[in-house]
Amino acid sequence: MGEIKITVNGKEMIGKSGDTILNIAAENGIEIPNLCYNKNLKIYGACGLCLVEIEGAAKLFRACATAAENGMVIKTDTERVRRARKVALELIMSDHFGDCKAPCHLNCPAHTDIQGYLKQIALGNDKEAVRIIKEKIPIPASIGRICPHPCESHCRRRLVEEPLSIAYLKAFAADNDLASEDPYKPAKAKPTGKKISIIGGGPAGLSAAYYLCLGGHSVTVYDAMPEMGGMLRYGIPEYRLPKAVLRKEISAIEELGVVMKNGIKIGKDIGFDEIRADFDAVLIAAGAWSSSKIGCKGEELNGVIGGIDFLRKVNLGEIPDIGKSVAVIGGGNTAMDACRTAIRCGAEKVYVIYRRTRAEAPAEDIEIEEAIEEGVEFRFLTNPAEIIGENGKVKALKLQVMELGEPDASGRRKPVPVEGKFEILEADTVISAIGQKYDGTGFDSVALTDRGTIFADENSCMTNLEGVFAAGDATNGGASIAIKAIAEANLAAKAMEAYLDGLPVDFKKPYYSEKKMTEKDFADKEKIPRAKMPVKSPEARKRNFDSVIDGFTDEQARAEAKRCLECGCHDYPDCRLIRYANERPIEPQRFAGEIHESFVERKLVSIERDQGKCILCNLCVRTCSEEAKKGILGLVGRGFKTVIKPEFDDSNTTEFCKTCRRCADICPTGALEIIE
Amino acid sequence: MNECRKNIPQSNLESLESVLAEYAAIPGSLITILQKTQEIYGYLPKDAVYHIAERVGAAPAEVMGVATFYSQFRLVPIGRYLIQICRGTACHVNGSERVAAAVSEYLGIKSGETTDDGLFTLENVACLGCCSLAPVIMINGEAYGNLTPEKAVSVLENLREKEGAL
Amino acid sequence: MRIVIGEGSCGIAAGASKIRSAIENLLCKGENLSIGTTGCIGMCFLEPIVDIYEGKKLLKRLVKVGEKDAKAIVDAVRTGDFSGVDYITISAEDEQFLEKQTRIALRHCGIIDPTSIEDYCAFGGYGAFEKTIKTMTPEEVIEEIKISGLAGRGGAGFPTWFKWNAAKNSRTEGKKYLICNADEGDPGAFMDRAVIESDPHGLIEGMLIGAYAIGAAEMTVYVRAEYPLAIKHLEEAIKQAKNHNLLGENILGTDFSCEMSIKAGAGAFVCGEETALIESLEGRRGMPRLKPPFPAQSGYMGEPSNINNVETFANVPWIIEKGGAAFAAMGTENSKGTKVFALTGKIKKGGLVEIPMGKTLREVIFEIGGGIREGKKIKAVQLGGPSGGCIPAELLDTVIDYNALAQTGAIMGSGGMVVMDESTCMVGMAKFFLDFTANESCGKCVHCRIGTKRMQEILTRIVKGEGRKGDVELLEELCEAVKEGSLCGLGQTAPNPVLTTIRYFRNEYDAHINEKRCPAKECSALLTYSVDAKKCVGCTLCARKCPAKAISGEIKKPHFINQAICIKCGQCEKSCRFGAISVR
């Protein structure tokens, strides 16, 4: 066979005469996307991804099936080719029913590999579980206790009966690891010689410090408070997060080599410009430490205190004088922390004033439940109209009675005042837990958003100042949950490393295939109730700050972890389809329509077939007949309704499958999986 | 024999023998064999499909692949009356959609299904080639042309009456 | 005198067999009155047709004959006095239907007895073949075909001589196959069926000439299983040809040997594509193969094969007999000879029409077809079925020519010509064809398998009044991709009905999407029936006719339609004698 010379995307290459464009390009380092080609099988030409333009020809050609000819000038990436390829991928995706990643993973702001660590917990490998968790969350024992776990709200097991207790399982594994003789210790990269300073030692600051330190950078964290931990240390009450646990996790970070400097307030103890000058990059993770105002008459009275201010005092060891009767305003988790802390501080009567109903309250239901158990009285559909004082001190609250009107932008029904209807509530202390804000003192040169938070570019995480980055509650969208702050800090850490290396950053959200499912899809699934966390009785817990929860038993935790449905695709790392789907933006939803019936079957011995993921490339059928010479798999039906199905009638064949497995190996998606 | 084989109703496979004797050895005769098989049974019984596969030396999956590719083949028995609704272009232009909808509604079945009493099987066919009589349906090979939804239903009513009288 | 009954599928469907038995029942024992049979003359709108012949001379053509007319016919033949059958004699106007045609491929259809080789030979049958094998070399045959300009009548219009030449030269020894594609898949076309049913020997003769030219020793006809009568007649004809040494070893005493067989398709439109057809002939799923290799290099059973359509072969004996130049004298610069069309739809006179290339669509529809039924206005004509397109009324002066038709966005196609009037919804038409192609896609290529499905879904939501802004653009984008990305003709041409309707009837798409209105008043989901209280006299007829019981009202008082229950069947509108029911 002779040699021929062709040009692909302007690059000249030599190939064997008679060989296909696809092969010659591949041998010369140009990959032409394809999903139905395999060099050992007969050419099939179905997927339409390998379409290329050949100079002088009117139509597009399949690179997998077109023999290259001497002098051919081929383009694999023109506008026309991209268009055809994009539609092909969109069409495939519009009929590809699978989850690249589990819903828990996608809905965890930090994108923790939940399915991965639950599996390790189920297997009893807590250290391995912690290793997986710590790829995203450096302080899992703490976060596991306090996270409002959006992962659980999206856990698909909720369609069977109840979601997994993901957060507590995380805490369980992390506790075990911390208590072990040889806790997980991550490997650190070689020192880079770069100096990074982080302002704020809360979840965001600690997380960035951890990952940047592992990256080989020299990291110093400054914090205004006496101890590290930020809101976890000074906002969250002890009964939810024992500070000993937090301290252990912070020490582990410190042991990695992060320098931690407490009691240093920027602008007072050290100038911001000074820090900027001393370090190669700076991350502001200062948090949102000032309480939002209620905005009603009497707010200046003695006895009115912000929710986080109150919690901070208690966490600093003070026992504030709150009197006998306390009114907490707000329906969020801070309000719950405040009311339950107030109970523990000895208040006899604690009220929660919330302008909507329980159903709309952003606080976790379990928090409301436990607060009620501890004696807190909820006054839903009321809103403070005035704080009535006597001698400059709070005496009572005048409450406007509310009712629910039309839904607002967030979809919640909007509370509207019932005209002329008021109530009076006696109170010694009013705690306003309706929100918290960033206080920019000390960072005068940092530009702010309209809402008064630090502006950080969504992609580069950089503020208006060169080399200054920002993450967490102080930034952009403002105060949110800890895991979100951690997620932002993780991104910022990557952005800072890229910045230090002089590389561009591009945090495009990858395209994932996602399933939409309903209870009906799981009608036949065996129901196993969610593990119940052992909780101290209200009587035993309401007058002290001991942890409310006692933690899962080992048996409980392993069984709970086994409830995981393992929604994420086993083939994600190797899936060619998703790789191509992410090369350029695609919008398969515009072609949303009927999809193939989706089910998982184990008709083939040792191989599981997920029909929803099958893209009908026919590779499995072809390898089964051409290479294995069996023909167990075959195409059934015609057109859109075509499916691949096994058909066999003797047990020898099934025995054969156990050792062959060619079909599962060759499947370009996760439709076929080897099961042991 | 494994599980899946056991569930197949055992057809009288002997009647297949003459067909297989004539065609099994001729390469490329699978479709012809399946057509003759369907002539015998009215459909393709699954055990017949497996038997044919064995005799022509093909994998059962391959034979199933062929049997399910062509619209002529049926894997389930049909009713006493096979109603073929022409969906050709001329019929479409002359209102076959309404005729089809009326027939489907009257019988309570969709294309490809058989009524519970085993009397009628409904099938859409590409074109019966009686375009000048459009819209057309064919019942057991006999064409009924120039139909309206009402006329089509009355044809079926008559058949039902006839069967009821028997 | 001889009574000849037109017993093509159409004729039988219209009642020809019943007429035959009615006539036969009237004959006295031993009466020497001959009753013959013939195929389809192509005047479907006049079926059933009974001809009375004296020798080869047609004395009387009786049309729309019923069982009740049998006695009059028999009496007329017995007495020689035809006044008793005047009432069913074809009108002078209807005779124009045939007189305006030029019949080559259809020259024997409806004239000869398709079950008799003798009858075929009496009309000069097999003369061309005998001339070929006795006096011509294969090269000369191919040259004659080249001169004729004959192109593939299946739709693609590829020069026949070129294919024959490639197959002839592909190799000199070993097996070769000649295949006839009679898998007439266009759901609005029946020319091929008519030819096989009515003139099976004509097909055999054309194929034999082709087999001789390319050096094939085996011929196969791939016929749709839906054409049982065609298969029966062809089987019979093959037997007869064998008995006359026109098939088999040393045909007519020459060195040329050739066998012939029939394979029935099993219902798959895609098998009209030649590589899919070969897969199907070999007993597999009819999924197209990659080209190259082309069938001329490696086709059926891996051997060089040549595939032509029925009508193409049916032209061949005439060309050999009269010379290629005579054929080429008809037609246009690049489209020679005649073309057969199956004229159907809202046309007055539907049937088979064979005319020289170069005639305009208007001539075919109005001069031969007699225009539109019920005095309505023509809106468009559809050519090429699911692979073709809709040509609007304003382009009716387009000539029948491969290039001229392609420029409109339609194609010549295999010969389906469906005429539509103002009551045909063009979006519905596009949906109809996409329903078809999506169902017939073999499922191999992503673009075709999922793309046609998605196009069908989008069109479905448009006709249901659920169309969204941007749907037309989405359709256009899909059309382009499906054309580009599909391996075979099915997918490459499937977008044509959508593209042409968008091109010429964009306003109808917009009306459906933006105004939720069907201008042709065909899409039932978009219709509202209402009673005009001023015109309604309260006769209660509509209420009694309504299958959904959606109409209520007291007797002699205006009635009322409950829109929530109305199934939009249109019964009320049809039944009302006072024009009180209107549709929007």
The residue with tokens 């050949």 is A54
Secondary structure (3-state) at C160: helix
Set of chain B residues whose Cβ sits within 8 Å of the Cβ of C432? 89, 92
C370 in the same domain as C310: no
Q: Do domains A103-185+511-562 and A195-289+437-500 have the same CATH topology?
A: no
Question: What's residue B62's pLDDT?
Answer: 95
Which of B39, B72, B131 to probe by mutation at the C interface, max C CB count within 10 Å? B131
The nearest alpha carbon in chain A to B50 belongs to A649
Residue C186 or residue A32, greater confidence: A32
Question: What's residue C174's pLDDT?
Answer: 82
Q: Is residue A155 less than 8 Å (CB to CB) from chain B? A: no
Set of chain B residues whose Cβ sits within 8 Å of the Cβ of C264? 31-32, 35
Mean pLDDT, residues A442-455 taken together: 95
Place B1 in a pLDDT band, splitting at 50, 70 and 90.
very low
Is B129's CB within 8 Å of C420's CB? no
Q: Where are the domains of chain A?
A: 3-77, 103-185+511-562, 195-289+437-500, 293-434, 596-674
Place B153 in a pLDDT band, splitting at 50, 70 and 90.
very high
Statement: residue A124 has pLDDT above 70: yes
Question: What's residue A366's pLDDT?
Answer: 93
Chains in contact with B, where contact requires at least 3 CB pairs less than 8 Å apart: A, C
Question: What's residue C405's pLDDT?
Answer: 96
For chain C, the domain total comes to 5
From residue A205, how far is each of A259, A267, A287, A458, C549 by CA, in Å?
12, 18, 9, 18, 72
Is A635's CB within 8 Å of B2's CB? no
Set of chain B residues whose Cβ sits within 8 Å of the Cβ of A654? 2
Mean pLDDT, residues A380-395 taken together: 96
Q: Does domain A293-434 have CATH number 3.90.1150.10?
A: no
Question: What's residue B3's pLDDT?
Answer: 38
C324 in the same domain as C207: yes
The residue with tokens 């306390």 is A326
Q: Which segments of A39-192 are extended strands (E)?
A: 51-54, 60-62, 73-75
Is C453's CB within 8 Å of A47's CB? no
Mean pLDDT, residues C78-94 taken together: 94
The answer to whether position B21 is within a domain reads: yes
Structural domain including C388 reads 338-421
C264 in the same domain as C195: yes
Q: How far apart are CA A49 and CA A36, in angstroms?
A: 9
- The CATH number that applies at residue B44 is 1.10.10
From residue C10, how far is each of A34, C136, C352, C415 by CA, in Å?
49, 39, 11, 17
Residue A648 or residue A285, greater confidence: A285
Q: Is residue C42 less than 8 Å (CB to CB) from chain B? A: no
- The CATH number that applies at residue C79 is 3.40.30.10
The nearest alpha carbon in chain A to B5 belongs to A649
Question: What's residue A336's pLDDT?
Answer: 97
- Selecting from A47, A594, A641 the residue whose C-beta is nearest the C-beta of C446 gives A47
User: In Å, how far is A94's CA from the nearest CA of chain C?
Assistant: 8
Which of B2, B46, B47, B54 to probe by mutation at the A interface, max A CB count within 10 Å? B2
Cis peptide before C48, with omega less than 30 degrees from 0? yes
B106 in the same domain as B53: no
Statement: residue C190 has pLDDT above 50: yes
Mean pLDDT, residues B101-118 taken together: 92
Statement: residue A603 has pLDDT above 90: no
Task: Name the H helices within A400-547.
Answer: 482-500, 538-541
Partner residues linked to A430 by β-bridges:
A304, A327
Is B59's CB within 8 Å of A651's CB? no
CATH topology of domain A596-674: Alpha-Beta Plaits (3.30.70)
Statement: residue C33 has pLDDT above 50: yes
Question: What's residue B10's pLDDT?
Answer: 59
- Selecting from A44, A45, A593 the residue whose C-beta is nearest the C-beta of C454 gives A593
Kindly report, residue by residue over C406-438, the tens digit of the pLDDT: 999 999 999 999 999 999 999 999 999 999 999
Mean pLDDT, residues C163-172 taken together: 91
Question: What's residue A604's pLDDT?
Answer: 82
The answer to whether position C386 is within a domain reads: yes
C307 in the same domain as C225: yes
Contacts of A628 (CB under 8 A, 6+ apart): A656, A660, A662
B11 in the same domain as B58: yes
Question: What's residue B127's pLDDT?
Answer: 79
User: In Å, how far is B7's CA from the nearest CA of chain C?
Assistant: 26
Statement: residue B97 has pLDDT above 70: yes
Contacts of C329 (CB under 8 A, 6+ apart): none
Question: What's residue B4's pLDDT?
Answer: 38
Is B65's CB within 8 Å of A635's CB? yes
Chains in contact with C, where contact requires at least 3 CB pairs less than 8 Å apart: A, B
Which of B30, B31, B73, B124 to probe by mutation at the C interface, max C CB count within 10 Å? B31
Set of chain C residues whose Cβ sits within 8 Å of the Cβ of A593? 453-454, 457
For chain B, the domain total comes to 2
The answer to whether position C105 is within a domain reads: no
Mean pLDDT, residues A476-497 taken together: 96
Residue % of chain C over a pLDDT of 70: 100
Statement: residue A522 has pLDDT above 60: yes
Kindly report, residue by residue over A604-655, the tens digit of the pLDDT: 888 999 999 999 999 999 999 999 999 999 999 999 999 999 987 666 677 7
The answer to whether position C521 is within a domain reads: no
Question: What's residue A676's pLDDT?
Answer: 75
B65 in the same domain as B40: yes
- Selecting from B1, B61, B69 the residue whose C-beta is nearest the C-beta of A647 gives B61
- The CATH number that applies at residue C357 is 3.10.20.600
Kindly report, residue by residue over B6-48, the tens digit of the pLDDT: 344 556 788 899 999 999 999 999 999 999 999 999 999 999 9
Task: Name the H helices within A435-553.
Answer: 482-500, 538-541
User: In Å, how far is B89's CA from the nearest CA of chain C?
Assistant: 5
- Record the pTM: 0.90
- The CATH number that applies at residue B98 is 3.40.30.10
Statement: residue A287 has pLDDT above 50: yes
- The CATH number that applies at residue C441 is 1.20.1440.230
Kindly report, residue by residue over A1-10, the tens digit of the pLDDT: 689 999 999 9
B144 in the same domain as B87: yes
Contacts of B146 (CB under 8 A, 6+ apart): B133, B134, B135
Statement: residue A461 has pLDDT above 90: yes
Which of A62, A640, A641, A642 to probe by mutation at the C interface, max C CB count within 10 Å? A640
Set of chain B residues whose Cβ sits within 8 Å of the Cβ of C185? 126
The answer to whether position C107 is within a domain reads: no
B102 in the same domain as B150: yes
- Selecting from C193, C263, C433 the residue whose C-beta is nearest the C-beta of B129 gives C193
Kindly report, residue by residue over C329-347, the tens digit of the pLDDT: 999 999 999 999 999 999 9
Q: Does domain A3-77 have CATH number 3.10.20.740?
A: yes
- Selecting from A43, A87, A92 the residue whose C-beta is nearest the C-beta of C478 gives A87
User: In Å, how far is A335's CA from the nearest CA of chain B?
Assistant: 59
C273 in the same domain as C395: no
Q: Is residue A633 less than 8 Å (CB to CB) from chain B? A: yes
Q: Which of B21, B39, B69 is the last residue of a domain?
A: B69
Chains in contact with A, where contact requires at least 3 CB pairs less than 8 Å apart: B, C
C270 in the same domain as C124: yes
Query: In the CATH scheme, what is the homologous superfamily, with its name and number, of domain A195-289+437-500?
Result: FAD/NAD(P)-binding domain (3.50.50.60)
Structural domain including B26 reads 3-69
Is C447's CB within 8 Å of A641's CB? no
B85 in the same domain as B49: no
